[in-house]
Structure 1
């Protein structure tokens, strides 16, 4: 090995490179072989180095209420979010990343900062990280490993945006009602998501790997070129008839306003002690639209489960005025009020006595928490309803707490109000999709597309024990 000063003289020292040289017989003889360099791979890079996000398309079907995932080109940047404080889950995330990297070397992996610091020494290739505000323009696909809370954490990273990447979720938590896949299925799950819309048909993973063959495209895909990154993929059979199915989960748009009518969403603070105690990132100036009063418009904060306003440690019941579409509905006297999505109907709202709603139903729910009046029952409203919650002047507590998906919170006092409405979804001018959280649904293992590919009923019976007989074990 040459001395470092000699290497530096010839410009051979470089950060991240280890340089090896063959033995030199004598100074007058040429080298036996040229220098070779190996990149130091166990490193963390900034997500800014990654290519821009690939926006998928979602197609409807006359035979299914779910959407079909269609990539215009293979996804490249994958955000992996494992459950916090679970070493076994973190180990599974490393296993998943290693497998995908070996089989699909063009895929880049992104982790949250604290997770990246834990796993980068276990991964023999570079990984990426960034603050949540920088993820939206880079992430093609999100993979979660954990329970429902992990999915909420993943969705909260995109809570200021109308477009959320598809989510592939593995159930590894205590309940996992939202998680579709078992982790032992990760090879099949990844294969289906990655190849979705590719029109490539190849042999099954259990058979010897063979060269990919292009399947006959559907009528609306005739003439479309096959992307080069798919042309040499080996493994499980896909094809244009087996695109991954997506359940689009509706969200709430939430705005918190002070007594002067000014949006104070920027003051929402994270609830988890595991996250940095920092405010939401400001809206970029180019995206700010002035209000009628000339003030900058703050982005809505999105919730996939619910918004809750509650009395917290206050000994008195909360008194909250509820308005729907500008009309006064009722004065609620209770521990609190929940405004939930159909997805959130199986969460806090269910525990408070709310109705269970299928996630495809376009509605939002108003559920009282321990109401004083026994006749105050949960309400279902159209998704586009505008709900306003105001602290009544009769409220004896000085401040109530507002929590959004359990991830962000703030305090509200008399004169302040919370405005909530359902997020509408639809196609964008460029053919993409805006609104909602697209969740990849587990497909039947035998590939029979005629089977019910919506696992909601199974989760309702198997996990929530719906209408479980009394006394049975």
Structure 2
């Protein structure tokens, strides 16, 4: 029995186990990471295939702790069921995307997938008649796509990818992102290779980058102290209300002073422990994916998206010693407006859903258990370094000119003369 067959049999016989597994994996049921790591050929551990948990002769890691470190090349897409539905998201207002958008729909229909599209996005397209019965329209403001989509194709830039992510506050299907935007740091695929890219993705012959997202929960003053475990909100217990709001972000959460003329004055807590007060234009709480966006402009280090971390980056802090820091991904961060702050603060989530934080309100942030599975064109490291070079021109400068032979001989003579001078001084010393 194959690996996928065994997974399929298990999920069909026990639906509750299937739901529980889906919550922990953070990947839809039809798409999973390969379950058998031994097939990858390369060790996924920092300390070898069988890491020793002993620490010296008389100490060891506590039960449940691990030394395993994920090997980026081990993350591959695997379909355990044939994908049946696809979502196609396009950049709005760009006429040049009409033709690639039409082509993507046709290719997916030809591969026997039902295609979900946003209302009003295909009105100007001359789609073949055989495609129209295979289309399902949805309204992103009203409809939920949870458990309805197996595969996502985006046509645009980084903003289009982030919009697609926002449609799935829980588990996110694999995303194939084509670069038709302005920058395209997160969209590695060229539209010219669309048929081949779609075929490889549906065959599971592509790599995968699991981009961590942040789960952000805003609670009003009356409800803030009643929320003890925001991790439970990701398991289906959260309901948006007047006292709470929740968002999942790919890049960053930005807390700033908004329209007020005074400094932003907020208190920062890590795992319920007060750490410091932030005084300045604001603060950025970023994912590793977001480290190459606003956080990089504010002076943070650029991190590979597979690094499990959360970045805290001040924006024009009123203190020269307040530098960006990196925390483990497992911590919980809480932001509150300081009691003696002159004004409120404002929060934005991936540049959207701008919300006012009043005195007594809290913003709590953790790493979501539902990452964004972005398909890789060449590989995790190759795609990332290509984006650094092509989009940000990382470390681009004119090369230093080589010395001519005459200059090299003069330099050599100078070195000899200096050596002789040193020897003469040594001989004169008592």
TM-score scaled by length of structure 1: 0.65
Alignment-derived partner of residue 294 in structure 2: 348
For the residue of structure 1 that corresponds to 2:296, the secondary structure is helix
C-alpha change, 1:287 and 1:375, in structure 2 (3 Å) is closer
Counterpart selection for 1:110 from 113, 116, 120: 116
| Contact 1:288 1:297 survives alignment (8 Å) | no
Matched, 1:65 2:27: no
Separation in 2 of the partners of 1:255 and 1:393?
Answer: 20
Matched, 1:335 2:281: yes
| Contact 1:252 1:303 survives alignment (8 Å) | yes
Separation in 2 of the partners of 1:408 and 1:95?
Answer: 32
**Paired positions, count:** 329
Separation in 1 of the partners of 2:243 and 2:78?
Answer: 34
Alignment-derived partner of residue 252 in structure 1: 214
How far is the alpha carbon of 1:413 from its aligned partner?
Answer: 0.9
After superposition, give the CA deviation of every residue in 1:287-308 in whole Å (9 maximum; x if it has no partner).
4379xxxx99978421111111
For the residue of structure 1 that corresponds to 2:176, the secondary structure is strand
Separation in 1 of the partners of 2:330 and 2:124?
Answer: 43
Separation in 2 of the partners of 1:181 and 1:303?
Answer: 22
* Cα RMSD (Å): 2.8
Write the mapping of 1:65-464 to structure 2, written as runs, cut at 5 A.
65-66=72-73, 67-102=75-110, 104=111, 106-119=112-125, 121-124=126-129, 125-126=131-132, 127-132=135-140, 133-159=143-169, 161=170, 163-196=171-204, 243-262=205-224, 287-288=236-237, 300-397=246-343, 399-424=344-369, 435-443=370-378, 454-464=382-392
Separation in 1 of the partners of 2:99 and 2:301?
Answer: 38
For the residue of structure 1 that corresponds to 2:355, the secondary structure is strand
For the residue of structure 2 that corresponds to 1:185, the secondary structure is helix
For the residue of structure 2 that corresponds to 1:443, the secondary structure is coil
| Contact 1:350 1:356 survives alignment (8 Å) | yes
Separation in 1 of the partners of 2:330 and 2:398?
Answer: 39
| Contact 1:263 1:298 survives alignment (8 Å) | no
C-alpha change, 1:348 and 1:289, in structure 2 (3 Å) is closer
Separation in 1 of the partners of 2:249 and 2:209?
Answer: 16
How far is the alpha carbon of 1:108 from its aligned partner?
Answer: 1.3
| Contact 1:289 1:297 survives alignment (8 Å) | no
C-alpha change, 1:75 and 1:348, in structure 2 (3 Å) is same
How far is the alpha carbon of 1:356 from its aligned partner?
Answer: 0.6
How far is the alpha carbon of 1:260 from its aligned partner?
Answer: 1.1
| Contact 2:333 2:366 survives alignment (8 Å) | yes
How far is the alpha carbon of 1:455 from its aligned partner?
Answer: 1.1
Separation in 1 of the partners of 2:226 and 2:250?
Answer: 20
* Structure 2 spans left out of the alignment, 5+ residues: 1-27, 43-70, 228-232, 401-430
| Contact 2:251 2:286 survives alignment (8 Å) | yes
How far is the alpha carbon of 1:57 from its aligned partner?
Answer: 1.4
* Structure 1 spans left out of the alignment, 5+ residues: 1-52, 197-242, 266-282, 425-434, 445-451
How far is the alpha carbon of 1:263 from its aligned partner?
Answer: 9.6
C-alpha change, 1:396 and 1:123, in structure 2 (3 Å) is farther
C-alpha change, 1:123 and 1:392, in structure 2 (3 Å) is farther
| Contact 1:288 1:298 survives alignment (8 Å) | no
For the residue of structure 1 that corresponds to 2:76, the secondary structure is strand
For the residue of structure 1 that corresponds to 2:105, the secondary structure is helix
How far is the alpha carbon of 1:62 from its aligned partner?
Answer: 4.7
C-alpha change, 1:73 and 1:342, in structure 2 (3 Å) is same
C-alpha change, 1:296 and 1:309, in structure 2 (3 Å) is closer
How far is the alpha carbon of 1:97 from its aligned partner?
Answer: 1.6
Larger CA deviation: 108-117 vs 171-180: 108-117
Separation in 2 of the partners of 1:342 and 1:247?
Answer: 12
Separation in 2 of the partners of 1:395 and 1:453?
Answer: 44
For the residue of structure 1 that corresponds to 2:101, the secondary structure is helix
Alignment-derived partner of residue 239 in structure 1: none
| Contact 1:116 1:128 survives alignment (8 Å) | no
